[in-house]
Structure 1
C-alpha cells in the first residue's frame, strides 16, 4: 500500500518536495518500490478462489450483461441498457485478470493496475447472429497522469486474449 500511495502522490501532481530525499528522482523511487505492489498483484492473480470470493459478483454481472441476461446484482440495469460502467480499484483489476485469465503490462507505467487503468469488455454482434467479446485495456503513462495529459487511445490500448471463457 505504501508503494501505491507514493505512485498516487506522484500521479496526482504533488510537488516533489513531499518525497523528501528522493525528490531528485521520483520516477526512480517508483521503479524501486512498485515491484512490491506488482508482486502483491501477482500473488492475488494466483489465488482464483480469493478473487472469486471477493469479486465474483462483479464478474457474474459482467458475464450476465454481455450475454443479455438479467444483471440481478446491479439495480437499474435493464434489457435496454447498452453501456455498463463499473468502477473499482487495483484489486478489482487483479481479480478480473485471474477470473477471466487476462494478462498485461505497460512499458511506460511501473504499475499494471495504475490509476486510470480501464478494463473494457466489448460485445460485438454480427448479422449472422454470431457474438464475439473483445477485451481491451487502456491506461495512461506515468507522466501523462502527472501532467494531466490525455493519452493517445491507440497507443495506450491493448487487446487482450482471455484464457477463460467470458460468455457462459
Structure 2
C-alpha cells in the first residue's frame, strides 16, 4: 500500500475510532456536566499540547520535515497548551476563565486547520515517514483534539442549560 494511502487510512480510522468512543463514552459524560466542568475537562486534555514542540526536536522527526509545517505546528500546539493551562488556572475567576476557554479553542482549531492545509501543500501524506516518532500525533491524537474543539464550540454556543430549564419550567407553569 502506498505511503499516502496508508497515512490517509490511519487518519480516517483515527477519526472513526475517536467518534465511536466519543459517542459511547465521552459525549454522555461531558453533556451531563455543567458548562464549566465540561470546558475544564476539555482544557485538561488540551493542556498537554505543549507536546507538539516535539515537531521541532532534532532526532525525533526527520530533518527533511518541512519547516513551514513543523514550526507552525509546534508553536501552535504550544500556544494552545499554554492557553488551556491558563483557562484551568483561572477557573475560579470566570471573567478570565471564559476568554481563555475561547482563546485556546480558537487558537487550537486554527492551528489544526492550518496544519492540515500545510501538510497537504507540502505533500506530507506521501512522505509520512518524515514524521518519525511523531507519526502517532496526527493519526491518533489530532482527531481527538479536533473533535473536542468542535464540542467546546458547541457547548459555548448552545443556550445555558439552567436558562433552558427555567424557560421550560415557565412554559409548563403557564
Report which of the two has the higher share of helix: 2
The structure, 1 or 2, with the larger RCO (C-alpha pairs under 8 Å, 6+ apart) is: 2
Question: What TM bracket, shorter-length normalisation?
Answer: under 0.3
TM superposition score normalised by structure 2: 0.27
- TM-score normalised according to structure 1 size: 0.28
